[in-house]
Amino acid sequence: MLRTLLSLAALTLVAQTPPAAKPVEAPKSEAPKADAPKPAETPKAAAPKAEKTKTSAGVVMGSEAPAAKPAEDKVIAKVGTTLIRESDLDAALAGMNPTERQQINLVAGAKDQYITRIVEMHLIAAKARKLGLDATPEHKRAASLVQTQLLAQEYLKKQGDVLNQKMAVSDDEVKAYYESHKALFMTPGKFSARHILVSVKSERTQNQGHTDQEARDRVAKIQELLRSGKKLADLAKEWSDDPGSKDKGGLYENITFGQFVPEFEVAVKSQEIGKVGDPVKTAFGYHLIQAEKMMPGDQMGFEQAKEQAKQKATESRREQVWTTFIGDIKKEIPFEMNPAPKKAAAPAKAAKPAAKKG
């Protein structure tokens, strides 16, 4: 699993512009140079030295610190003329998600394996360049897209603090959002209903049930019995394919909206209480539904809805800020979006005259 993770992580380097090759520096000769007249140096003012004092323990204290030496960017691998340095590894790790980065940093030997994957990716890329694959239109298009994405990410990173400040919402703004969108903060209502299910063979029913035609014929028979005065509660015990309700006369009681499939709940909300509606088709089959009781949801108080209101207010603010952010860029950068060409409408067929009955 770790090898797979490392391989996938190393692939991110393929999408980046390969680092420019850095020439290997030749070792400096230690041979003494011939004497040559040196240009006169402009005398430099001596930097003031920090005062040093001795503590009672005899330790010399002072404000001067030794000059920090620049960290050496070591070469960890070389592929062709391309040098892969520690900074390249650090940049690749920085682009990974925290979980992957943590695994590579903590698992013994993982970083060495990751370096191996990076080298392998560079080797593969070098082979691809040797075959001229970097010159294909497909590669150039993909490379251009990656470059565009990286530039956009870099700009967004630069603007991140400003955008985040604009997207933040205060407690007063959350309260105002709640007051103007109270309909969004309701507890779900409940219902009680009876139904008869005539199942249809499908993946959802594990191919148990009737064919669609058999199911429709069965529904028609049940409707005929209902019209003759039979009660749905009595018919459910004999005709329903729902094991969870048939023995209770098809009854589901005090059900919170959101638990049943949407088609079923829409029918419950729209049908007249106590009256069996038209057949409703769901993934399970055909339902004959009789709504018995509806209990509307209650308005949530602000404290109860505060977290939901904050989330929705933040989402709304983010959309506003983003729209403004993109709009300002559009004003600065020439922008045009051509709509997709519409398909030509098929020519209308001439209407045939209705046949007259003799």
- Residue 207 domain flag: yes
pLDDT on residue 228:
96
The total number of structural domains that make up the chain: 2
| Same-domain pairing of 194 and 81 | no
Cβ–Cβ < 8 Å for 200, 209:
yes
pLDDT on residue 105:
84
pTM for this model (two decimals): 0.52
* Token representation of residue 355: 């046949």
- Residue 154 domain flag: no
How many Cα neighbours within 13 Å face the side chain of 353?
3
- Residue 173 domain flag: no
- What are φ and ψ of residue 199, in 5° steps? -75, 150
| Same-domain pairing of 124 and 205 | no
Could you tell me the CATH number of the domain that includes residue 206? 3.10.50.40
| Same-domain pairing of 207 and 287 | yes
295-321 burial, b at 16+ Cβ within 10 Å, e below that, comes to eeeeebeeeebbeebbebbbeebeeeb
- Residue 170 domain flag: no
Q: Return d(Cα 10, Cα 13) in angstroms, integer.
A: 6
Q: How far is CA 245 from the centre of its chain?
A: 39
Cβ–Cβ < 8 Å for 233, 249:
yes
Residue that has been written with the tokens 């207010």 in this structure? 313
Q: Return d(Cα 226, Cα 237) in angstroms, integer.
A: 14
CA distance to 259, 281, 325, per residue, from 262 (Å): 9, 11, 38
| Same-domain pairing of 1 and 110 | yes
- Residue 106 domain flag: yes
Cβ–Cβ < 8 Å for 125, 12:
no
- Residue 321 domain flag: no
Cβ–Cβ < 8 Å for 80, 88:
no
DSSP for 149-187 reads HHHHHHHHHHHHHHHHHHH---HHHHHHHHHHTGGGSB-
Q: CB within 8 A of 225, min separation 6: which ones?
A: 235
| Same-domain pairing of 265 and 205 | yes
pLDDT on residue 67:
58
Q: Return d(Cα 144, Cα 138) in angstroms, integer.
A: 10
DSSP for 198-254 reads EEB-STTTTT-SB-HHHHHHHHHHHHHHHHTT--HHHHHHHH---TTTGGGTTEEEE
pLDDT on residue 340:
59
DSSP for 297-320 reads PPBPPHHHHHHHHHHHHHHHHHHH
Domain boundary among 264, 295, 326: 295
| Same-domain pairing of 82 and 199 | no
Q: Give the range of the structural domain holding residue 207, as residue numbers without chain letter.
A: 187-295
Per-residue pLDDT tens, the chain, 358 aa: give them: 444 444 444 444 433 434 333 433 433 444 444 444 444 444 444 444 444 444 333 333 344 445 555 668 889 888 888 898 989 888 888 878 888 888 888 888 888 898 899 899 999 999 999 999 999 999 999 999 999 999 999 999 999 999 999 999 999 999 999 999 999 999 989 999 999 999 999 887 777 889 999 999 999 999 999 999 999 999 999 999 999 999 999 999 999 999 999 999 999 999 999 999 999 999 999 999 999 999 988 999 999 999 999 999 999 999 999 999 999 999 999 988 887 556 555 544 444 434 444 3
- Residue 182 domain flag: no
**One-letter amino acid for residue 122 of the chain:** H
- Residue 125 domain flag: yes
Cα pseudo-dihedral 222, 226, 231, 236, rounded to 10: 10
Name the helix (H) or strand (E) containing 280. Answer: strand 280-282
| Same-domain pairing of 201 and 131 | no
pLDDT on residue 69:
58
